[in-house]
Structure 1
Amino acid sequence: MNTKNNPHHIVIVGGGAGGAELAKKLGDSVGKNKQAIVTLVDAKLTHIWKPLLHEIAAGTLNSSIEAMEYIDHAHRHHYNFQLGYVDHVDPQAKEISIAPTLDDDEEETIPRRSLKYDTLILAVGSLTKHFNTKGVVEYCKFLDTLEEANNFQSYLMRKMLRAQNRTQELRPGQLHVAIVGAGATGIELAAELHGATKKLIAFGFDKLEASRDIKITIIEASPSILPALPKRLSDAALEELRKLNIEVMTDERVVEAKKEGLITHTGKFIPAETMVWAAGIKAPNFLTTIDGLETNAINQLLVKTTLQTTNDENIFAFGDCASCPLIGEEGFVPPRAQAAHQQASLLVKTMKYRLAGKDNLPEYRYVDYGSLVNLGHYSTVGNLMGNLMGRWSGSMSVEGFVARMVYKSLYRMHLIALHGYTREILMTIANWITNRGLKPRLKLH
């Protein structure tokens, strides 16, 4: 039993959308009043909302402005922050192991260390699954992390600079971007890249012509794009992509990536020197190595509706790394940001129950508030309320300006969950004053 001299230690691994929100809420409640010690562990010093990565990759959003610094956030909200990648969990010893942190020269900055817990909450998110497709790891870009998004933006800028200052004709596929996967990430990235390249040409890249030299192709193995959305909205998104001269290939499964481009199962070759893999997800591999815990085929931890892992009541998991059964229907909670947000709110209540010694923990019931896909400043499509409204009257489809405003509000809600209303309003005003008319609408370095 925990006492004031030996308080309950809640360790959260992963500072994504759900983990960062949970750390803040627990810190401001049970951490502030010393009911428990709350520690967040993450491999990075900063947090960025993952749905923004495609904008950072295109250069239309500056990550240094949008990123939240964990050390500062932890200080403000009464929790501890530990930098490092967790690579081992020992349920018997109730201990996690954090790998050494290395600098750019591969020298050790922080040594390996261990951390004891009373309650462990895993929120390590997901990574892109490449299905062991030949050549993908070697030749394709991924956008799972802020570092990968920033590296992609720098890479693309170098490609454009070389093309602008070339002394000979462009090679086939030199400025062709091929995106594998027509889910939200692939669609949003394609639209954002289209807008970014048009801005570059407007800034003086006069040797390039968008319609002639720059090509964007989306390749999807399924019969249609955006399968999570109703067909009418999927068709609306497809029409918008065609207006932007973005090629969409459906029913084409990529079987190999080469340096010069992609090969599909029908034998088609798509010449492209820039290839992005955005098809499928899986949880981090280390979850499968935790003794006694159950995982599924994509490495997700199996959890009960209380979000406790099936074989260990002291280990919880939520968000993309957890497979949680739906209540009242078949299937599992989809790996979406709104689910992680809802689960983080539930776990605040759950932790208070545990600290009070209550055994009857609350259960998580997924509420679908809908889906939105943002096609840059061109359009936004989606449906609101999802199954919440669908039980009575069906979901409400939205497009254009209304959908765009709702999409922006989702990000603002995340920022409010992290910082509170007052601080977020002040930050929004400060960013508006700083950026209005003073900085280009595209990152150029």
Structure 2
Amino acid sequence: MSKIVVVGGGAAGLELVTRLGRSGLHSVVLVEPATHHLWKPRLHEIAAGTFDNELDSLSYAQHSACVGYRYVQAAMTGLDRQAKTIRLDRSVDGQQQMQYDYLVIAVGAVSNDFKTPGVSEHCLFLDSAAQAQQAWERVNTLLRSGQQQEVVIVGAGATGVELAAELAKVNRQLSRYQQATSLTVTLVEASDRVLPASPVCMSEKVQRELENQGVTVLTGVRVHEAEHGYLVTSEGARFKGDLMVWAAGIKCADWLAGLDGLATNRINQIQVDVTLQSVTDSDIFVLGDSAECPQPDGTFVPPRAQAANQAAAHLAHQFYRLAKGATLQPFVFRDGGMVVALGHSYAVGTLMQGKLILRGRFVRNLYDTIFRLHQRVLFGWGRVTALVVLKRVKYLLNPYYKGNI
């Protein structure tokens, strides 16, 4: 029985250990510093105070006991490929090293500040649940102020767009609760349109909806510097921001570039071949945003949640093939389209490789279904159905967002 150590409990890592744990063919260990899993595409809801921690988060300790893998609350800090060990940031069973037969790295990506001066000191990021919770605490403080507050979001990718729409929804709810506070939400994008990686017609529909919701959208504006309470553009204009969130671009953590000689690219992604094995070491696999994985058409797998989910399912099957002595098959990403949520009742999505654009409440329900499919892998349909019913009842009984404002 091989020992498989999976580093990172995001969508890819958690789905992988779930599938491997249930198979019983391997000894599986998940190394993850957090205590609870939250689906990364929904971190903007945590930041806006609209996420349901009770029903939509998962305890690694409880889940591991139910599924059959071992959960170790620690972070990976180093690698020794010759000894086949990883170093941890704390002692586990009296040691700070852990042996593996196969290592899977699935630690995701973080926001890329492009070394813009002042950004790390004055802007918030949404790379983890802890950072999203920090953002919510700041938002909650603004909501209690009784004054007009300026929120500036840099980066009009999916995260920036969804956060802007969620905060605009919260702002509209303030009048229902008779609050004097109001939020002015501004979305800043260096490209000439929002969602620059999506079809143009989708970008246009998303921008129109954001503006209908009261969001100020500024495209073709590049941030040159961040100061306390202000963002400075390359043209010298200054935007006031009582809360400033940076959601522009991605890269992988710097420590990935120093892992005992593993080949990485310019944004610290580990280079893998079509079987998801590191080009440097065939006993090391990489999933999700951490991997630069080539495709037959010469492109690379995009850093999206559906790609991570597909890779996790594929790799779980490949470990089954390894156990049976079969050769590994290549991973081919199948693009199922893109859905961007603009509040709790509206979304815009693309299907058929951008040839079909859909929008409205139905597409928002599709966005929720994607999350439920992720939960289905973790829990099974029975519990997912119960969660959906409980959430609907709770939604009818509770206010729209949490916090006593």
Q: TM-score range by the shorter chain?
A: over 0.9
Are the counterparts in 1 of residues 138 and 243 from structure 2 also a CA contact under 8 Å? Answer: no
- The answer for the alignment partner of 1:352 in structure 2 is 320
Are the counterparts in 2 of residues 100 and 110 from structure 1 also a CA contact under 8 Å? Answer: no
- The answer for the alignment partner of 2:158 in structure 1 is 184
Matches within 5 A, 1:68-107: 68-100=58-90
TM-score, normalisation: structure 1: 0.88
| CA displacement at 1:278 relative to structure 2 | 0.2
- The answer for the alignment partner of 2:207 in structure 1 is 238
- The answer for the alignment partner of 1:390 in structure 2 is none
Structure 1 residues without counterparts, runs of 5 or longer: 1-6, 102-108, 165-169, 387-393
1:363 and 2:330 equivalent? Answer: yes
1:160 and 2:127 equivalent? Answer: no
Q: Distance in 2 between matches of 1:292 and 1:26?
A: 28
| CA displacement at 1:326 relative to structure 2 | 1.1
Q: Distance in 2 between matches of 1:127 and 1:356?
A: 36
Counterpart pick for 1:380 among 313, 336, 347? 347
Counterpart pick for 1:430 among 374, 385, 390? 390
| CA displacement at 1:157 relative to structure 2 | 1.0
Q: Distance in 2 between matches of 1:429 and 1:76?
A: 22
Task: Give the 3 Å change call, closer, same or farther, for CA 111–283 of structure 1 in structure 2.
Answer: farther
> What is the CA deviation profile of residues 141-185 of structure 1, one whole-angstrom value per residue up to 9, with x for unaligned ones?
111111111121111111221x22xxxxx5xxx610000001111
Q: Distance in 1 between matches of 2:250 and 2:212?
A: 29
Secondary structure at the aligned position of 1:248 is classed as strand
Task: Give the 3 Å change call, closer, same or farther, for CA 38–222 of structure 1 in structure 2.
Answer: same
Task: Give the 3 Å change call, closer, same or farther, for CA 216–111 of structure 1 in structure 2.
Answer: farther
Q: Distance in 1 between matches of 2:94 and 2:285?
A: 27
| CA displacement at 1:111 relative to structure 2 | 7.1
Matches within 5 A, 1:277-356: 277-327=246-296, 329-356=297-324
Are the counterparts in 1 of residues 345 and 364 from structure 2 also a CA contact under 8 Å? Answer: no
How many residues are aligned here? Answer: 404
Are the counterparts in 2 of residues 85 and 99 from structure 1 also a CA contact under 8 Å? Answer: yes
| CA displacement at 1:247 relative to structure 2 | 0.9
- The answer for the alignment partner of 1:142 in structure 2 is 125
Q: Distance in 2 between matches of 1:238 and 1:258?
A: 27
Are the counterparts in 2 of residues 99 and 111 from structure 1 also a CA contact under 8 Å? Answer: no
Are the counterparts in 1 of residues 150 and 240 from structure 2 also a CA contact under 8 Å? Answer: yes
Q: Distance in 1 between matches of 2:242 and 2:361?
A: 35
- The answer for the alignment partner of 1:276 in structure 2 is 245
Q: Distance in 2 between matches of 1:232 and 1:331?
A: 23
Q: Distance in 1 between matches of 2:96 and 2:391?
A: 38
Q: Distance in 2 between matches of 1:52 and 1:112?
A: 35
Counterpart residue identity of residue 247, structure 2: A
TM-score, normalisation: structure 2: 0.96
Q: Distance in 1 between matches of 2:214 and 2:280?
A: 51
Task: Give the 3 Å change call, closer, same or farther, for CA 263–191 of structure 1 in structure 2.
Answer: same
> What is the CA deviation profile of residues 424-443 of structure 1, one whole-angstrom value per residue up to 9, with x for unaligned ones?
1123223334x144322211
Stretches of 4+ moved more than 3 A in 1?
109-112, 430-433
Percentage of pairs with the same residue: 38
Secondary structure at the aligned position of 2:175 is classed as helix
Task: Give the 3 Å change call, closer, same or farther, for CA 52–112 of structure 1 in structure 2.
Answer: farther
- The answer for the alignment partner of 1:398 in structure 2 is 358
Task: Give the 3 Å change call, closer, same or farther, for CA 276–111 of structure 1 in structure 2.
Answer: farther
Higher Rg: 1
Counterpart residue identity of residue 318, structure 1: L
1:413 and 2:373 equivalent? Answer: yes
